[in-house]
Amino acid sequence: MLREIGVAERVLFLLSSMLPEKIERVLSTDDLELKLCTYADQKVAPKCIVSVSERFDDLRKRYSHRATHSFGVDRERFVNMLERQLFDSLSISPEDIDENAISPYIRSYSLRNSIAR
């Protein structure tokens, strides 16, 4: 579907590389955009932005009925490693990325989309 609407190859690459089973490869790359996209994807809960530990608590709770799921300790450990890699060179902390921090962007995006319709 994305190819059909003409999404750039770079976007297709980023989306396909963010899959949970590829987190180890993301850790070993120098591709900062890929690291940021993968990390951001791990902080999004159904209704808000949360910490990595809160996200994994939520995933374990919601999928505990399944015999197998991909929310194990290794994946959480890898995401925590990714978080450290990213924030070691930044002036902000993971706690700075929350609903309050992103709300201006969401409002701006919503406003632009409502005007475009």
When divided into structural domains, the chain yields a total of: 1
* 33 within a domain of the structure (yes/no): yes
| Distance, CA of 48 to CA of 85 (rounded, Å) | 23
- Residue 34 pLDDT: 96
Blockwise average pLDDT, block size 10, the chain, 117 residues: 93 92 93 95 90 91 72 84 94 92 79 63
* 3 within a domain of the structure (yes/no): no
Q: Are 20 and 41 in contact (CB under 8 A)?
A: no
Question: What is the residue range of 33's domain?
Answer: 9-116
Rounded-to-5 percentages of helix, strand, coil across the chain: 65, 0, 35
* 4 within a domain of the structure (yes/no): no
* 2 within a domain of the structure (yes/no): no
- Residue 105 pLDDT: 82
* 53 within a domain of the structure (yes/no): yes
| Distance, CA of 5 to CA of 42 (rounded, Å) | 26
